[in-house]
Structure 1
């Protein structure tokens, strides 16, 4: 894995960070590295996430999906309970993985109508077993399978904590199950059964995903100048301190688009505290060069642009053409064009005085996505330590959960009372 932050240096942009500043910052990185290593060793809450490549047992996951040969896997979860699975399945090129990660009735109806329920494996994921959106969707899925004449207990696997309603359900119906790892917040759980089970059910090489994560673990060293993960986390932090409060995350591969969604949750939920943290913006290269690049080059000077790509990819030739204006394309390939778009965008941002960082993996395969996931988690944890925020909690999210549960009659929560206090000043026609 390679992280190139040359276009984020003060020598390239007056919004950038100087080498001297990074040298001073590196002293803090070394101390934080010791803290992270100790947290991993002791499996402290949050830091245990970075122990997952070693702690995750792929055999447990394979045992849970043994006997199934599904045409589709439907993950019923939300946030960290689905985004990691989406990322890994897409990066491995596995067809047939779907997620119910919202409670939009129209979308849920369409998806369930389109799925071959008799050959679909339902993968229900919630650490607490009480997540309202997940449990509501699961009840809807059960009913749909009953109506289709499918025994849902024969087509369901559960990933949850050691206690809670889902664990009780799994025990009652003898459902195959996996455990959500202790001490690991949901958004950091991709390299566990939470993220790996759908890929395993669809025949993916989850062992190599974990090997990639292990390579990311081995790459952590006490210096940002020697560790790609720490380089990214430290530079992103340094740029935020200089006004880059938005992080536009732009992968140049369709199969990495779910990874950008996963990154957005990781960055936002971990770092958005105490009036601090970068706001992640998701884009896709080269598509969003035609919709967002104008803003990144000429809009507010408050951004870091992160460009992500695999160095090697499958390719497709562009046929020759007799059209003179298009002759430069003929004989080339779509991969060549995408790489040219990547490098042109990178240069155009630098020319516009816009700091940007390049992240590259060797190829988009099982090891590549495992290493990428691990590195971004480590980068986020380092960033949180530098920022001195509580990286592994999400109190603002919990407030909204309590308010929604109170509105639905799930308990007496003072947060629900705040809804009634909303100021209404509407215009209706």
Structure 2
């Protein structure tokens, strides 16, 4: 991956090259801390070791036991988004879906559309007790029973060493994959959590991990030597100067789900102690016509992250005799996309609005591996610079306890707090 941070300097928020050079000393210290964490496989930091510690052989072996038309990942948050990001980005003859919401209408519609006899289900939860995941899995299992499908022949369990799912897998002799120790869900895309669906779809796991390893090899004590660190340091520096929002805009339809994955990574990791940067999801060129007005002419409180592959398939634009449109004939959709990308970038810069360009060569396994790893490294570095607990999510856990208490899953003070909701109804 390549990071061009030139348009992040000398904009409305006042980050200049001298300030960036000063920050580089702190990057060196942060890198030392990150490397100690990696060396000791500390919780969270172990995620940055995945290119070398993830063995793809068991994943391929389990995937080889199936020849389905579709794969359904049942999980929530990081237990599903990594798999969905990879499979959405890459073409495959196998359809991939993620059941990552408990909206009953949506769940029912998805299950009604699937041929469950030709679907392999991967239920993913480290603890094996995640309420949303287990509820959806019970619904899927019931739908399989109703369709006359033996769910035990179509189910893979990805979980930790203990918990309800582990017991279920042992009882029914289901194939299992391990959620790696020390890796929070949102950092687990490059592990069995994210790679099983990719393997079922026939994607090259070695290339995914090799792309990540390329970026891991670039991590050093200077932001000028690592695209991931450059992006993380600039994001942090701009946030400190008022860039409360990070608008992530991939210029490839296949990377739209990546923006969703990034949103969880950034929000759940960095939103602590009144700090952090709100991720906004956009898609180029679609959202040039819906959001760019705000980013260019609204409050100067945003970083815009523009992401693109430099090599893509193309399609010629037919010639036309329509007045004023003849300039399009003889060019291509790729030419138009490139022009739109560069025009957006220049438009923001001309208005003094900070933006960063992230590029991969192609949206293929290696490129996706590079992008996932580099942005994870960026997030970890940002967390070190901001002195936040990057790998925890206490606010999420509060809501989980409240919901569980409301459903009768135990006595939780958080559930009692729900009754104190202030109301001001207007009808």
How would you bin the TM-score normalised by the shorter chain? over 0.9
1:39 corresponds to which of 32, 37, 40: 37
Structure 2 residue aligned with 1:200: 199
Q: Provide the rounded CA distance (Å) in 2 between the counterparts of 1:90 and 1:414.
A: 40
Unpaired runs of 5+ residues, structure 1, are none
Q: Contact between 2:12 and 2:300, CA under 8 Å: does it hold in 1?
A: no
Aligned length: 426
Q: Provide the rounded CA distance (Å) in 1 between the counterparts of 2:37 and 2:13.
A: 34
Question: Shift in Å at residue 324 of structure 1?
Answer: 2.4
Q: Does 1:146 align with 2:145?
A: yes
SS at match of 1:312: coil
Q: How does 1:30-69 map to 2 (within 5 A)?
A: 30-69=28-67
Q: Contact between 1:77 and 1:101, CA under 8 Å: does it hold in 2?
A: yes
Q: Provide the rounded CA distance (Å) in 2 between the counterparts of 1:332 and 1:162.
A: 56
Q: Contact between 1:5 and 1:357, CA under 8 Å: does it hold in 2?
A: yes
Structure 2 residue aligned with 1:119: 118
Q: Provide the rounded CA distance (Å) in 2 between the counterparts of 1:22 and 1:353.
A: 17
Q: Provide the rounded CA distance (Å) in 1 between the counterparts of 2:324 and 2:79.
A: 49
Q: Provide the rounded CA distance (Å) in 1 between the counterparts of 2:87 and 2:357.
A: 24
Q: How does 1:65-84 map to 2 (within 5 A)?
A: 65-84=63-82
Structure 2 residue aligned with 1:363: 362
Q: Provide the rounded CA distance (Å) in 1 between the counterparts of 2:210 and 2:323.
A: 49
Task: Give structure 1 regions of 4+ aligned residues with deviation exceeding 6 angstroms.
Answer: none
Question: Shift in Å at residue 225 of structure 1?
Answer: 1.0
Q: Provide the rounded CA distance (Å) in 2 between the counterparts of 1:414 and 1:233.
A: 37
Q: Provide the rounded CA distance (Å) in 1 between the counterparts of 2:25 and 2:351.
A: 31
Q: Provide the rounded CA distance (Å) in 2 between the counterparts of 1:196 and 1:333.
A: 34
Question: Shift in Å at residue 42 of structure 1?
Answer: 1.0
Question: Shift in Å at residue 14 of structure 1?
Answer: 3.3
Unpaired runs of 5+ residues, structure 2, are none
SS at match of 2:225: coil
Structure 2 residue aligned with 1:311: 310
Structure 2 residue aligned with 1:235: 234
Structure 2 residue aligned with 1:6: 6
Q: Does 1:373 align with 2:372?
A: yes
Q: Contact between 1:159 and 1:177, CA under 8 Å: does it hold in 2?
A: yes
- Tell me the TM-score normalized by structure 2: 0.99
1:88 corresponds to which of 86, 89, 106: 86
Deviation per CA, 1:26-55: give whole Å up to 9, x if none: 001111111111111111110000000111
Question: Shift in Å at residue 351 of structure 1?
Answer: 1.2
Deviation per CA, 1:311-333: give whole Å up to 9, x if none: 11111111111112111111111
SS at match of 2:215: helix
Structure 1 residue aligned with 2:327: 328
Q: Provide the rounded CA distance (Å) in 2 between the counterparts of 1:179 and 1:216.
A: 24
Deviation per CA, 1:346-381: give whole Å up to 9, x if none: 011111111000000111100000011000000000
Structure 2 residue aligned with 1:263: 262
Q: Contact between 1:248 and 1:305, CA under 8 Å: does it hold in 2?
A: yes
Q: Provide the rounded CA distance (Å) in 2 between the counterparts of 1:184 and 1:273.
A: 19
